Amino acid sequence: MLEGLLTAGQRYVLDQLLEVPAGARVSDLGRWRKGVTPRASGPTIIKVLDQVAEIGNLGLANLGAEALVPPRRLGELAKYGMRADASALRRHPDGRRLATLLAMVRHLEGKSVDDTLELLDLLMATELVNKAQNASDKEKVRKHPKLAKASARLAVAVQALFASDGWGGPEEEVRVAEVWEAIEAVVSRADLRAALVVVNDSVLPADAADPDDWRAELVGRYTTVSGLLKVLPGVIVFGANAEGTPVLEAMKALPGVLAYRSRLPAPLIPGRLIDAGVVNGPWKRLVFGHPVRAGASVSRHAYALCVLERFWRALKRREIYAEASTRWRNPQAELLEGAQWEAVRTEALTALSLPSDPDRLLAEHARTLDAALGVAVVLGKIRADMRR
């Protein structure tokens, strides 16, 4: 049945997967079955992406095998093929052999996409975000004694400045030299300058929207992901819901942004190349600069890491998904619709203890959520009052 979907050229290609190419030790199929040694690194992910591209280039994804044969049967064929050796597969009749090879290729395509995204998740969580957060925390701990000492010196100077308010009569203005004399009696001018440098380096300006915290450390790891960012969007086909679409479009455009030859000092590029709408919160300071750079130039490295971080988080929430994957696909793709849903609706709702009309249930949950938010607001005000 499945072999009827294949053209003569596709049958030849599938049979060639069992043969060992000249100069190689194993067949392409054997190499794909073994896979790439898993490691959370950019080069490893690129190797897995190469395998995704190899399998995808066979052009067997859109034959409609899943519509013709039940998924369970396809899974059984693929499972058998993954265990069988090449000589056993060659001995099968043409129909059985080609059907097994097709099922295996479809399975390996999904598995290779799964492996890619699992390694990306591991790389982001352990090698990038976690290490950036740890490095940021260590830097804060390292700076704390210096910052505390510098702040104490500035506080002494400000206290002397406020004390000068009461000097002289109501019509008499206090001279700056007198104020400095009072300040230098408790802390030298050189110490004050040094303290000001420490505070300016350690504390964000008063008008900064958000701290860049660990994200500044993350930007320093740009070289870890620059290679995979150039190939990932072009190899795996991603989809997205309304929330994830802007981030996905920015991710698709990222290879062009990274390839752009800029005449500006590295890593700056013209701001017109990026989608400023996906740069949120703490990333704005790192991407656009603070204050905003002249000529509206932006940091290529910061923008690339911003898009990657948002892409990763959207992928974990399935706002972005990979259709060829089994673990990272659209969660709504398996939902029943139309006649299929109506046939099992009563049984499914009963098993889940859900009403047939969702309005009352949603209204009840809305009231519960509203009450919880009200409590959270009150608790927040109480904590704020206790800090004062």
pLDDT in tens, 274-303: 999 999 988 998 999 888 887 889 999 999
Q: How many domains does the chain have?
A: 4
Q: Which domain holds residue 11?
A: 2-130
* Whether the predicted pLDDT of 138 surpasses 70: yes
197 and 148 belong to one structural domain: yes
56 and 108 belong to one structural domain: yes
224 and 205 belong to one structural domain: no
175 and 277 belong to one structural domain: no
Q: Which of 258, 282, 140, 158 is nearest to 210 (CA)?
A: 282
Helix or strand (DSSP H, E) at 218 = helix 215-219
123 vs 291: which has the higher pLDDT: 123
Structural domain includes residue 381 = no
Structural domain includes residue 382 = no
Structural domain includes residue 17 = yes
How far is 85 from 76, CA to CA, in rounded Å?
A: 16
Q: What is the model's pLDDT at position 2?
A: 74
- C-alpha 386, offset from chain centre: 37
62 and 88 belong to one structural domain: yes
117 and 150 belong to one structural domain: no
274 and 225 belong to one structural domain: yes
The mean pLDDT of 37-50, rounded to a whole number, is: 93
User: Would residue 280 be called left, alpha or beta, if left means φ above 0 and alpha means ψ between -120 and 50 degrees?
Assistant: beta
Q: To the nearest whole number, what is the mean pLDDT of the chain?
A: 86
Helix or strand (DSSP H, E) at 292 = none
Whether residue 170 has a cis bond before it, omega within 30° of 0: no
Q: Give residue for tokens 């802390």.
A: 187
Answer yes or no: are the C-beta atoms of 7 and 63 closer than 8 Å. Answer: no
> What is the percent of the chain with per-residue pLDDT over 70, rounded to a whole number?
92
Answer yes or no: are the C-beta atoms of 210 and 281 closer than 8 Å. Answer: yes
Query: Considering the entire predicted model, what is its pTM?
Result: 0.72
Most confident of 67-76, 204-213, 252-261: 252-261
Indicate the DSSP class of residue 294: G
Helix, strand, or coil here: 320?
A: strand
Strands 238-240 and 297-299: unpaired
Written as six digits, the tokens of 172 are 């008499």
